[in-house]
Amino acid sequence: MTGAKTAVEWLASVAPDPEACRREWERNPLGIALLPAGKAWDVLILPSELGYPTLDVLTRILGRPGPVLADFGDARMGFFVPPGTAARWLGTGIRTAGAGTWIVVPYPGRSTSGVRWLVPPDGSGTLTDPALLELALHEAAAGLAGEDDGRGQRS
């Protein structure tokens, strides 16, 4: 299977009816689906001002982290992590989507208005390791703090 087709199958596998989800998703003019978190993945949602530097650190460390979404207007970013991470995550300013929550997911390989993939899934099930994500968050936050001039203003 091609990467996008494999990614579609992997994402749709969490839907209550994967085949119906895939068919509807492919026909939906918006190119999005509402999928449950907590089965194959959880999502950690960061404000973009922290998310983009964190993604830069992860990319430098890993080459290619797990899937990452950006929402409408790039206000927030969602990092796909192993199931169960959301229930254990402690972090100020970071929202979580785990068991019992649903997220809007764009069809891989198709441009949509609003939510989009920054790092699309490859269909292999690769997720970002939460420990590495936490280290990348700390490095990104330290970098952002270093840009602050001490009065809450960036230089």
| Residue 37, amino acid | A
Q: Are strands 102-106 and 42-47 parallel, antiparallel or unpaired?
A: unpaired
**Residue 128 CA: distances (Å) to CA of 1, 32, 47, 124:** 23, 22, 17, 12
Q: Does the pLDDT of residue 153 top 80, yes or no? A: no
Q: How confident is the model at residue 1 (pLDDT cuts 50, 70, 90)?
A: very low
Angle at CA 119, nearest 5°, toward 114 and 124? 125
What pTM was computed for the model?
0.88
Q: What percent of the chain has pLDDT over 70?
A: 91
Q: Is the pLDDT of residue 145 over 90?
A: no
Helix, strand, coil share (%) of the chain residues, nearest 5: 40, 20, 40
Determine what percent of the chain is predicted with pLDDT higher than 90.
61
Higher-pLDDT residue of 149, 47:
47
Kindly state the average pLDDT of the residues 52-81. Answer: 92
Averaged pLDDT of the chain: 88
H/E segment holding residue 147: none
Helical packing angle, 18-27 and 3-12, nearest 10°: 130
- b/e sequence 64-98, b meaning 16+ C-beta within 10 Å: ebbbbbbbeeeebbbbbbebebbeebeeeebebbb
Q: How far is Cα 14 from Cα 43, in angstroms, rounded to an integer? A: 14
SS3 of 73-99: the string is HHCEEEEEECCCHHHHCCCCCCEEECC
151 falls in which pLDDT band (50, 70, 90)?
very low
Q: What is the pLDDT of residues 88-119, one digit of tens each?
A: 998 778 999 999 999 999 988 777 778 899 99
